[in-house]
Amino acid sequence: MSFTPSPQQAEAIRAIVDWFQNRTHQQQVFRLFGYAGSGKSTVASLFKEFGALVIDSDVISHQVTQSGGMAIAAIRTAFGDNYIDASGALD
């Protein structure tokens, strides 16, 4: 399902991104959070579209907990093999 922002929503997001991009003396950080289905990915996509850097912690967590991921050894050490599946990924 795709979401198309209204002109007002797109204008608001563009204004926020422009404001952040024009603040060269200081790095700005936005944190998007909310319930499942609340639109976090949509807002992140809109920020990307307007030139903002987006770091998706869900993507990172999936990468480090897949088979051979850099968090697997620490998880195995802390919790044992009960939480690692047959492929070597977090279960």
Total residues belonging to the chain = 91
Quick one: pLDDT at residue 24? 61
End-to-end Cα, the chain, rounded Å: 28
Q: What is the DSSP string of 3-72?
A: ----HHHHHHHHHHHHHHHT-TTS--------STTSSHHHHHHHHHHTT-----HHHHHHHHTSTT-TTH
Q: Return the amino acid letter for 59.
A: V
Rounded to 10 deg, the angle between the 40-49 and 7-21 helix axes is: 60
Asked whether the predicted pLDDT for residue 71 surpasses 90, the reply is yes
> What is the tens place of the pLDDT at every residue in 16-70?
777 767 766 566 677 888 888 888 888 888 888 877 788 888 889 999 999 999 9
| pTM for this model (two decimals) | 0.59
